[in-house]
Amino acid sequence: MNGKQLKNSILQWAIQGKLVPQDPNDEPASVLLDKIRQEKERLIKEKKIKRDKNASIIYRGEDNSYYEKMLATGEVKCINEEVPFEIPQGWEWCRLRDVIYPPKYGTSSKSLSNGDVPVLRMGNIQDGEVVYDKLVFSNNVEDNRKYLLQDGDLLFNRTNSAELVGKTAIFKGNRHVIYAGYLILLRPIKTNSEYLNYIFSSPYVRSYCKEVKTIGVQQCNINAEKVSQLLVPIAPFEEQMRIADKIKEVLPSVDKYSISQYNLDLLNVSLSECLKKSILQEAIQGRLVPQIAEEGTAKELLERIKKEKQKLVKEGKLKKSALATSVIFRGDDNKYYEQIGQSIKHIDDEIPFEIPHNWQWTRLSYISSIYTGNSISEAEKRAKFMGVQGRYYIGTKDVGFDNKIVYDNGISIPLQYERDFRIALANSILMCIEGGSAGKKIAVLNQDVCFGNKLCCFSPFMEIGKFIYYYLQSPSFIDLFNQNKTGIIGGVSIAKVKNIVIPLPPLMEQQRIVAQIDGLFEQLR
């Protein structure tokens, strides 16, 4: 359980009467609600508020069901389906409107950067409290009188994102302030403000807000009527105070726990990532599994790859340029050289570490076909490729940092357009090579797809794809990749990607390495 979950549990226990013990000497909530109704009658007589035509009383019938009686009409209806949980004896259910002044929206007047009275806005409600950051002001005398806040007032955020709409805060009377129109004033009557505020922070009310919100173009909204209809569990006043005091007492410990849990989670993620990197680095240096002489050599594997490429060229599936030879070897002087045709050059500076004697250094382009995809303009997508049947088109956004691909993204390439697109085959590897995600987004395909121009496809010759996939995530490759980045947005050209060196084990050893990595990564999940 993390800190947020623990806090939610405490708040839910509180409003269900499970956080503090009940005291039989407490005045029942039914008496409190009678006093609130009497106070409202006094305010109506003094013309300070208007009579609420929707005022009601909620009670439990002889059949143990919950009923709501409308005071204006006498109408009675069963509300069992609305009651979310049982409450202790001495508590009562009521509508929020029955324990507060009529809800009131804030000022709609244009605010000023400087002025007489601060105006609280959505951003000033943080974690159940009012904060005085980034204030705006009002010089409107009428507004400054009409919307003046009192100690204990609750402010309800009626417009915000789906996650934040419905958040509340208590005004504690420490400043002369008013509030803006995106907030609703909820002024309690003979009810503890802190208790009500905790109710609004509970999972029960957050769920209610999620259900009743309306979704606009950019933000969600909950109007005053929906807020007023909220079913509220009312504890005896003395218990309300004990609950509020207990929550205030335990929340600092919860906050400390939350910070500790957060740091522990970060540490676990960090350790997991460090372990994965270490495993990958050990793997590509030949230190993860033992070498077995009977499994042959990487040199033999490269000869098999050469024959496979020759076969593909004959079949017209590969260009003759793919047959260009590159042999990396160690000279008598113990230095590394590369022979291309008759040309030999010294490449010691490109070799990052030593490898087992039966391994071989080679270029990525020698063991896999490497190519980028095709871009599509937004206009083309809308006109031709959205909501149609065809082969999935994968863009950078569809490849996750978690090595997963979203295939059904709404964009497909119909058969008649496939000739205009490059196809990445199943079991190939897609990697982003341009932008902020370059070298960070990588995944193995489980089906043939068309793909975007910022993605690079590695289509291995023979069954060595999984080893290449893990190599592309290793610290050594990432370092080589980053060294080759150019441009303002950051990226590596396809030519430079092809030229990056890779340590190649024999095929059977690759299979053992991949199996070992898979097993170790499974344990780290």
pLDDT at 2: 82
pLDDT computed for residue 321 by the predictor: 80
Which pLDDT score is estimated for 261? 82
Nearest partner of 122 among 154, 156, 148, 151, judged by Cα: 156
pLDDT at position 517: 96
The residues pairing with 169 across neighbouring beta strands, listed in sequence order, are: 128, 155
Smallest CA-to-CA distance from 113 within 132, 134, 144 is with: 134
Q: What pLDDT shows up at residue 325? A: 79
Q: What are the residues whose beta carbons fall under 8 Å from the beta carbon of 376, sequence distance 6 or more?
A: 385, 393, 411, 452
Cα–Cα distances in angstroms (integers) from residue 430 to residues 362, 383, 438, 480, in the given order: 20, 26, 11, 18
Taking the C-alpha atoms of residue 191 and residue 91, their distance in angstroms, rounded to an integer, is: 13
Distance between CA 168 and CA 199 in Å, rounded?
10
Q: Which helix (H) or strand (E) holds 145?
A: helix 141-146
The one-character DSSP state at 288 is S
pLDDT for residue 374: 95
Strand order in the sheet with 56-60: 56-60, 66-70, 76-78
Q: Which pLDDT does position 490 carry in this prediction? A: 85
Check: CB of residue 49 under 8 Å from CB of residue 43: yes
The beta-strand segments (E) located in 171-268 are: 178-179, 183-186, 214-215, 220-221, 231-234
Judged on CB neighbours under 10 Å (0-12, 13-18, 19+), 250 is middle
Distance of CA 312 to the CA centre of its chain: 45
Query: Measured between alpha carbons, how far is 179 from 144 in angstroms, rounded to an integer?
Result: 9
Low-confidence ranges of the chain (pLDDT < 70): none
Domains recognised in the chain with CATH numbers: 3-259 (3.90.220.20), 285-524 (3.90.220.20)
pLDDT (0 to 100) of residue 235: 97
Tens of pLDDT, residue by residue over 103-133, are 999 999 999 999 999 999 999 999 888 999 8
Place of tokens 């105006």: 119
Indicate whether this model's pTM tops 0.95.
no
